[in-house]
Structure 1
């Protein structure tokens, strides 16, 4: 028996507010206690409750499959394993004795074959250039439409660098830390005035000057590119992690908060960030982008991609029956009637694309893989689409910190900036 009992949350910014952690942990602990005492019915009920409170967690789903087997429900166990494998394609259950009762079923053998197929290496992107700067933790990405200069942000120390599109010229553009701010996250060039760069800045434990007093600090910055000057900073009360932003053609800035989770808006001409939308469907918000015909798309790291109708602020899953296929998306970009997804909350890591129809809905069976399970793809984070090409950070160094959130500089990777056609 190899009951999984650890809670290894596999999303970028772990929030204490995204769901009722105490409730689901309580239900989970009840389930584990019941298992240990041989009360398999209570074990199952506790895991079903945990899964309802905190959906799509690989550990909960693993143990829920065990619970169904213990309650003589093999079809339900297989269904859970198949669902889990759609975003976590790891056969970690294959040698667990708890799964012996279903191991000879053809559905089980088919599941193992499916997992093998999902771990096939697919590599369609090409290396644009490598970026080697010890301790620089690449996150945000923007391409200037006129100069074609790339802006890259640094989560750890709040640096923003500019790099020529061929990677040959690299210089520091701004140090947010020296300006009194924090780590640099998502970035966008203003669609109305290309001399303006918008940046989200927040504090994580990996921030090089982290202390508890600044925990929860976050702001949106409006920067004059030519003058290299912060024109305005925008904040709001409370603890926040502003992770990404997008800008409408009219100049409204939409911001995701990975801490609450809430979508905020900075209306054009306003000096105040306002709450735009909260929803029971939100768990952990990441990337977002505007599509056509008044739709805003936002990635929920746990639930998948959500479509928001700006006319009435209604929220629905992009794929009503299989939205878990889109979970674990960090950066997300609308281009050529498609959503481009950088998925680092899945196993394996993926860069994928799904087509969108004129009504803003996903076209069934159009989910396609650009990169998957490739050696260079070690946590793709954010990117940008420019001239029908996706530019993205392929291997952001989130895994190169020790238990005290200090960077392991001796092991710091050479970072890859890659590109893929999205025309």
Structure 2
């Protein structure tokens, strides 16, 4: 792969001596980071053609990356190249993104007013409210920083994960406005991210670790683990750890088997049974920031916030990047699968934020279609972001307004008031 990347750089006319001197094998992430730096440098020097080529090389590694597309627009605007600017905007439209091109409005209208107006209409359509969802619960815990959601369809009880208060929160069906602490730091929890109910084992599973927003006691040891709690009593059943883990983030459970992503180490773990031990299923230096996990078409799919979606073959453990269509898969947080093999993804790392269904080809290696399920709901409020989703019985439950932007990493209070958290319910049938 190293030679292929260097050949790509040379083919685009780039001078990349630092890349050639790398002692470690380059990855798409390290190379694209360097290319972004080169593009910025060339842009500052006024070498717009080289900046354009560097950004095109980034897009070859990370299709429909919002920052690269925005960079191409900026390069075109600086150079007064209306055609290139239109092409960058067309790519943003196709990627399902939003963007404000008004700084180049005069140039673009002079070149082709009708085309400019059509693009503006398309960008606005990309942000238009889509789909219907109802409020399932409003949780008045503004300091909890709720991230994950899990529904027990047998009892209609809802479980939520708290990052900033280190808890699993329970909402009973008859009192959804009265959150109950189901498990907390006394059970060994750090911040809680992904959470799930397993119908087979009747356990509540939770991935826990430490981030800057985690309140830690002086001298308390950091760590990360997968936890299992008795669904009815809340008693800790078992805690699973593995050497080298950095931050277990999200997971999927099927037939008592748990597949777990690590957002800070390039690894995916598997737990074959509740009496077993976590093992490394896949370790690949191309992984950057792993998030949601899904099972479909006989393979494991793992969202990578920086790269898109990885496919892990459950037979030989080989790893490939799912080929996208035009729609951007950058910035996906939550990821699960429906019974018929659709992937349901929550994108919050690119604008607009949305929940979307992804249909794969028969081989499960490429995207055939993307359908926006929910976007622009009033509870997906500005200054917040949708995070994780749970699926069961043809329905979806979404954390609509995770308040990550309002929890500064330095622990300081935000300038604006933190909102209550809204859980939305959608019928996917």
Q: How does 1:231-250 map to 2 (within 5 A)?
A: 231-238=237-244, 240-249=246-255
The reply to whether residue 289 of structure 1 matches residue 294 of structure 2 is yes
Q: How does 1:243-322 map to 2 (within 5 A)?
A: 243-249=249-255, 251-268=256-273, 271-279=276-284, 282-291=287-296, 293-322=297-326
TM-score (norm 2): 0.80
Contiguous gaps of at least 5 residues in structure 2: 1-25
Provide the aligned C-alpha RMSD in A.
Answer: 3.3
What is the aligned partner in structure 2 of residue 12 from structure 1?
none
Deviations 1:7-61 (A, max 9, x none): xxxxxxxxxxx96877655543443333333233333344345555666543333
What is the aligned partner in structure 2 of residue 62 from structure 1?
70
Contiguous gaps of at least 5 residues in structure 1: 1-17
Counterparts of 2:371 and 2:278 in 1: how far apart (Å)? 36
Correspondence for 2:215 among 203, 208, 233: 208
What is the aligned partner in structure 2 of residue 376 from structure 1?
379
- Indicate conservation of the 8 Å contact 1:265/1:275, yes or no: yes
- Indicate conservation of the 8 Å contact 2:28/2:286, yes or no: no
More off after superposition, 117-126 vs 196-205:
117-126
What is the aligned partner in structure 2 of residue 353 from structure 1?
357
The reply to whether residue 80 of structure 1 matches residue 92 of structure 2 is no
SS of the residue aligned with 2:91? helix
- Indicate conservation of the 8 Å contact 2:140/2:177, yes or no: no
- Indicate conservation of the 8 Å contact 1:19/1:283, yes or no: no
Counterparts of 1:272 and 1:102 in 2: how far apart (Å)? 65
- Indicate conservation of the 8 Å contact 2:213/2:409, yes or no: no
- Indicate conservation of the 8 Å contact 2:324/2:366, yes or no: no
Offset, 1:183? 0.4
What is the aligned partner in structure 2 of residue 396 from structure 1?
402
Offset, 1:99? 6.0
Counterparts of 2:96 and 2:324 in 1: how far apart (Å)? 19
Counterparts of 1:151 and 1:334 in 2: how far apart (Å)? 19
Correspondence for 2:40 among 15, 24, 32: 32
Point out the structure with the larger helix share: 2
SS of the residue aligned with 2:52? helix
TM-score (norm 1): 0.82
What is the aligned partner in structure 2 of residue 197 from structure 1?
204
When residues 53 and 339 of structure 1 are mapped into structure 2, their CA distance, relative to the original with a 3 A threshold, is closer
- Indicate conservation of the 8 Å contact 1:103/1:109, yes or no: no
The reply to whether residue 412 of structure 1 matches residue 421 of structure 2 is no
Offset, 1:139? 1.2
Offset, 1:371? 1.7
SS of the residue aligned with 2:406? coil
Offset, 1:398? 0.9
